[in-house]
Amino acid sequence: MSDFSEIKIAGLHLKEILDNLPVGMFIVDKTSGTVVYANKKAVQLYGVNPLGLKKPGSFKLLKLNGELYPTHDLSSTRALHHGETVSNQDLIIEQPNSRRIIVSDTAIPIKNEKTEILGALVIFQDITERTQIQEKLQRYAKNLEVLVEESSKKISESEQRYRELYESFGEAFIATDWEMNVIHWNKAAERITKITAKEALGKKIYSVLPEMASVDVTAYYESLLQRKPARFMMNAVSRETGREAIFEISTYPSALGIIVIVEDKTEEEQTKRLSAIGQTAGMIGHDIRNPLQTIINELFLARQAIADASKDVDMKVAEESINNIQEQVEYINKIVSDLQDYARQLKPELKAVQLADLITGIIQKIMLPEDIKVAISISGEISLKTDPVFIRRALTNLVYNAVQAMPHGGKLQITVYRKQNEAIITVSDSGKGIPDEMKPKIFTPLFTTKAKGQGLGLAVVKRLVEALGGSIIFESQVGKGTVFTISLPLEK
């Protein structure tokens, strides 16, 4: 198999990128049957460098029940000898020191242009801790739902029993009357918020926790008035840790008002994101291989055209090849950028930004097809303090998304205006639109309706916008196009 160590992406060697991925990865050569590449994480998870090995040797691969995993059932064997793509095969690696690690294994056959199998790419992620956490969370969440429902029915029966119950919760348990005055505040709420029950009781919840004022809870309040539970997520700096955190706010109607349970979901959301990154890494080889092959072909055509230039051959062929190369390089760069933006912790660096200049600059740098007409409308001079890199990445992804929705050309409209204390940016296209059944999943990582891509683009946009204290919504109609609307606070 060819050496990929010299391939560069966004200035970095491909080997350097793979070596620093948070998931294990190795490549098996079919001819020799040996491991010809293993990244740092793979060596760490196996407890030994698997390079050159045909069989586990000093480590064992086991089923989740502890039985030895048959070689012919392993994902790498199925990919190597049967051409199968095997996803999420859970197994146990028993290291030389007898330590056991649970991993989720994905294997993809590597084929040449004749679809002959050259080898297999195997990606695996350590899910030991995640598996234990998920099992514990599932049991706990199930028990918590039952406890809350039962306790809500018995509030009027026994105030003492009610107090004992909510004080035993590990999560912040807050209760208000229907006018949002705090009537209960447990010890976990004191720990998480650094506010004592004495300081909170009798006050409006918004005055006690001003962070909640950044969330529009109208829809959830209406749900509670209809005697239905509601849930929403909130990004805020944790008073307990002093770091950015993700909280899940669960609200339940009670006889007296509203019960609010606050859970810190930061670690769980990071686990989900790492899982998505692991799955995405499995697609990178395929998605990058195609544009790299196109670049090789176009370079050959460009060289031929330049060599024949002395014979008065039209240089348009060379120009088209160079444009195609630029387009493919931009696509590869987008794959890497999306993965980085989804993987890293987001820390905005706020600067004074003129939206008109920023958006004009974005459009000038994107190579748009000739059959797509662009219209930009900016109402007045809008300046805000935000992170221009985050805005640029979010809008670039939305523009690419709009272009892909209009394969036969159309109109791309970008509108910017001020609405009260917010800057509103809309990106609309006249493309094919989004079917109703797909709308709930549109911001979900790894969800995509396109032939190529990792499904991280819109998930990244949502993360970037929310990191700036903003929000994003969309409207779409099949056959008529889609409008994405970003709302950003003029004062962070």
The domains of the chain, with CATH numbers, are 1-125 (3.30.450.20), 131-264 (3.30.450.20), 346-489 (3.30.565.10)
- The answer to whether 149 and 308 are in contact (CB under 8 A) is no
Provide the residue type at 264 as one letter. D
Report mean pLDDT in 10-residue bins for the chain, 492 residues. 51 70 88 86 87 69 89 89 90 89 91 89 87 79 75 56 64 84 86 87 85 66 73 74 76 81 73 59 55 65 62 59 65 59 66 87 82 88 86 87 88 90 91 86 63 62 86 89 91 58
The span from the CA of 278 to the CA of 275, in Å, is 5
Provide the residue type at 142 as one letter. K
Give the 3-state secondary structure of residue 272: helix
Give me the pLDDT at residue 58, please: 65
The span from the CA of 45 to the CA of 402, in Å, is 41
Please tell me the pTM assigned to this model: 0.39
CA distances from 61 to 58, 183, 279 (A): 10, 55, 21
Q: What's the first-to-final CA gap in the chain, in angstroms?
A: 52
Give me the pLDDT at residue 53, please: 73
Burial degree of 367 (CB within 10 A; 0-12, 13-18, 19+): exposed
Give me the pLDDT at residue 482, please: 92
Angle, vertex CA 452, rays to CA 450 and CA 454, nearest 5 = 90
Give me the pLDDT at residue 48, please: 87
Q: Which two tokens stand for residue 14?
A: 């491909």
Burial degree of 306 (CB within 10 A; 0-12, 13-18, 19+): middle
Q: Which two tokens stand for residue 389?
A: 């890199």
Give me the pLDDT at residue 447, please: 47
Beta strands in 281-371 (DSSP E): 351-354
